[in-house]
Amino acid sequence: MSERKKTNIILFSGDYDKAMAAFIIANGAAAYDHDVTIFATFWGLNTFRRDEQVTVKKGFIEKMFGKMMPRGANKLPLSKMQFAGMGPKMIKDVIKKHNAMPLPDLIEMAKEQEINLVACTMTMDLLGLQEAELIEGLEYAGVAAYLAEAEDGAVNLFI
Amino acid sequence: MSERKKTNIILFSGDYDKAMAAFIIANGAAAYDHDVTIFATFWGLNTFRRDEQVTVKKGFIEKMFGKMMPRGANKLPLSKMQFAGMGPKMIKDVIKKHNAMPLPDLIEMAKEQEINLVACTMTMDLLGLQEAELIEGLEYAGVAAYLAEAEDGAVNLFI
Amino acid sequence: MSERKKTNIILFSGDYDKAMAAFIIANGAAAYDHDVTIFATFWGLNTFRRDEQVTVKKGFIEKMFGKMMPRGANKLPLSKMQFAGMGPKMIKDVIKKHNAMPLPDLIEMAKEQEINLVACTMTMDLLGLQEAELIEGLEYAGVAAYLAEAEDGAVNLFI
């Protein structure tokens, strides 16, 4: 067990607002000198998709999931008040207006602060997401790796 | 306080994907030798409903809740990409294809691993769910029982 | 670090049922003699809005958010089975019938039990919510204050 406190966040949600909350807490905890891990699973993996299309071989259902799921942090919907895309635009407008950080910048900051960004390999398999489709700088692991960190975690959250 | 570490998961959500995540983490933690408890409350109780109709006496609103809520783990919707039932079918297809475990099997495994499956009696009352309508092997308790476990928990999650 | 155990709940959700769960756990933990904090952020802030309209100066987008978001605990929607407002009415009916506490009473009880009710200043800024629009008895703080509590928390939840 390391001397530093640990914050471990499971990012299950693929919503812009929830991912923002996850990365704001994570960046705050890193500034607080915690060892921080964001473990992205299920729809949370969409946060780590590249925004350009990547050509990879896939089965039919996996292709459909790939087409239906948002491609990257900037394209995520809101958990509330989506309003056919107006909600995310409004949130991004107020973020800019109040000099807050949009999600892609929060992810960049997380990398700079050496937060561990982990993609859940089991759900990558299920949803047919491949490493080539995800952003650089990720680790790849399963639930055992999450638990090894979380069981010593000071702050464990499921978002 | 027991020597073994504890994982306590509140399963509030009645979504197939979120319940899967809860049971995958729970089964992983049990394999890690944690004492594991899943405390199902609100819509999470639907995960524990029997899939056949059970005749019990109920008030009018309780009957309506009973009719409107999904009957058991296999009938839960997805939290995202429900698409009039196509989403859950797609998820179940990829689960089968990748030899992953569907939710009912994950629940079976949880029982075999002696994970404590607890139904929240307060919300059972509210939603009009009775013990006869739920699967076997559950414990029945309230928030005080949850807190007694959670205050020593190594991993506490709200899903 | 205080001798008393701590329960820290991030209330991100603005749903009636999820806010109920948060306040039931919080009140239970306070009865268990924990130091309890509910840190409301994003849509969770709507739980703390006054139900009457308050005249404050706002920009255009902030006004729109203000109009679109529910005004106070009693007006929150359900996370499931909203059914054009019938769901919340059904839940409130069964709460009354079973002598359970509706959300505004749970909030009152939280205040009586000296639970710390904190409004996240960063998301107040983003959503354009001002102190005058929120109920009395709140503290105002950011993610650093949350982490200072949570890193010693016995029970940390994200709801």
Domains of chain B: 6-158 (3.40.1260.10)
> Would strands C35-40 and C116-120 be described as parallel, antiparallel, or unpaired?
parallel
Closest in C43, C61, C153 to A94, CB measured: C61
Angle between helices A86-97 and A16-31 (to 10 degrees): 30
Closest alpha carbon to A44 in A120, A144, A156: A120
Q: Examine the pLDDT at A85 and tell me if it is beyond 90.
A: no
Q: Say how many CA atoms lie within 13 Å of A69 toward its Cβ.
A: 29
Beta carbons within 8 Å of A84's beta carbon, 6+ residues apart: none
Q: Examine the pLDDT at A95 and tell me if it is beyond 60.
A: yes
Contact between chains at C25 and B128 (C-beta distance less than 8 A): no
| Measured CA angle at C27 (ends C23, C30), to 5 deg | 140
Contact between chains at C146 and A81 (C-beta distance less than 8 A): no
Against chain C, the chains showing at least 3 CB pairs within 8 Å are A, B
Helices within chain A (DSSP H only): 16-31, 60-68, 86-97, 103-112, 121-127, 143-150
According to the model, what pLDDT value does residue C138 have?
Answer: 98
Closest alpha carbon to C13 in C65, C79, C60, C86: C79
pLDDT, tens only, B103-130: 999 999 999 999 999 999 999 999 999 9
Q: Does A146 touch chain B (CB under 8 A)?
A: yes
Q: Which of B42, B62, B121 best tests the C interface by mutation, with the highest count of C CBs <10 A?
A: B42
pLDDT, tens only, A146-159: 999 999 999 999 99
Q: Report percent pLDDT > 70 for chain C.
A: 99
Q: How confident is the model at residue C85 (pLDDT cuts 50, 70, 90)?
A: confident
Q: Examine the pLDDT at C2 and tell me if it is beyond 80.
A: no
CA-based nearest residue in chain B for residue C23: B143
According to the model, what pLDDT value does residue A82 have?
Answer: 85
Q: Report percent pLDDT > 90 for chain B.
A: 91
How close does chain C come to A132, measured CA to CA in Å?
Answer: 31
Residue range C68-78: mean pLDDT, rounded: 95
Q: Give helix then strand counts, H and E, for chain A.
A: 6, 5
Q: Which of A32, A34, A80 best tests the C interface by mutation, with the highest count of C CBs <10 A?
A: A80
Contact predicate B88/B16, CB 8 Å: yes
Q: Examine the pLDDT at A2 and tell me if it is beyond 80.
A: no
